[in-house]
Amino acid sequence: MKISSSNNLEKQHSLARVLIIGATGTVGSQVVKEFDKNDEGVVVRLATSRLEVAKKWRAEGRDAVVLDLNRPETFAEALEGVDRVFLLTGYTSDMLYQSKKFVDASVDAGVSHIVHLGVFTSRRDFIPHFSWHDLVETYIEASGIAWTHLHPNVITDTVFSSIKETNSFAVNWSDMPQGWVFAEDIAAVASAVLREGPDKHGGANYWLSTEVLTGPEIAEILTEASGKEIKCIMSDPSVLEAYVDQITKTSERTYMESAVITMKLAAAGQMTLQNVVRDDVLTVLGRPGITMAEWARQNF
């Protein structure tokens, strides 16, 4: 992944170049870690919207580019020489415009494989942002570029963001069950797919839902496995709804209004199609996804 000599540069010309979008985010940063452990067969290019971050990475010897999904004029340079892309978008309704323009630029750049991070969709959900992901994936498939779609259920790391400091976590769907997967597993699958390429993974949908648990069940599992009392703070979607009402940027508020719909359906027990275990971590990596108990033993 790092450029250390002219010999390495010559070798890189024969390797697939992988562009990682969102390389500083919850999942993207984990993908970077996976490639730091094993980048056999690929050269990795990191993308960020912040110039200072790109400069820092370059100073470390990494291939890094500035790519802002809200500025399509940054796409061509970032995609130059790229074979495979890890594509994910942020929590904004702008994802539709961003994804279309990026896929178009990928076609122009000769990209051979897009690995898209979506949601755990049933393709029939009454949730706006789930439908947006469905449309993005349909557009990718129509582009002629080989594709692989990753469908994570609730990403545990986003709920556990402060759990080590507070010994607690919060859910906005009361005591209803949800399917869960850790970002580490999503990243491990993504890096394997990007490394192994479209010949092995083209046209595949991978579903990432390791366990189906309620918040109180998770708290009990974590408490027993860690030896510490871990509390689940349960609230209904109205708490998130009050926060969303304060968001001033329209595209972000629109996306989060869709998230509130998700919470309301979950709290009403109507997310039955998402309350399943489908562990394609095992399919891709040959090992099952990380469980809550395993995570607690490793992290507390």
Torsion, Cα 43 47 123 186, to 10 degrees, reads: 60
Among the listed residues 8, 11, 28, 12, the one whose alpha carbon sits nearest the alpha carbon of residue 20? 28
72 assigned to some structural domain? yes
pLDDT tens digits along 118-158: 999 999 999 999 999 999 999 999 999 999 999 999 999 99
pLDDT at 11 (0 to 100):
46
147 assigned to some structural domain? yes
pLDDT tens digits along 96-123: 999 999 999 999 999 999 999 999 999 9
The model's pTM: 0.94
266 assigned to some structural domain? yes
∠ CA 82-21-148, rounded to 5° = 75
1 assigned to some structural domain? no
Residues 6 or more apart whose CB falls under 8 angstroms from that of 126 comprise: 261, 265
CB contact at 8 A, 178 and 266: yes
Domain at 32, CATH number: 3.40.50.720
SS3 category, 197: coil
- For residues 134 and 122, what is the distance between their CA atoms, to the nearest angstrom? 9
Q: Number of folded domains in the chain?
A: 1
76 assigned to some structural domain? yes
Per-residue tens of pLDDT for the chain, all 300 residues:
544 544 455 445 679 999 999 999 999 999 999 999 999 999 999 999 999 999 999 999 999 999 999 999 999 999 999 999 999 999 999 999 999 999 999 999 999 999 999 999 999 999 999 999 999 999 999 999 999 999 999 999 999 999 999 999 999 999 999 999 999 999 999 999 999 999 999 999 999 999 999 999 999 999 999 999 999 999 999 999 999 999 999 999 999 999 999 999 999 999 999 999 999 999 999 999 999 999 999 999
Beginning with the edge strand found earlier in the chain, give each strand of the sheet holding 211-213 in spatial order.
154-155, 178-181, 211-213
Residue ranges making up the domain that contains 89: 6-299
pLDDT at 5 (0 to 100):
47
219 assigned to some structural domain? yes
153 assigned to some structural domain? yes
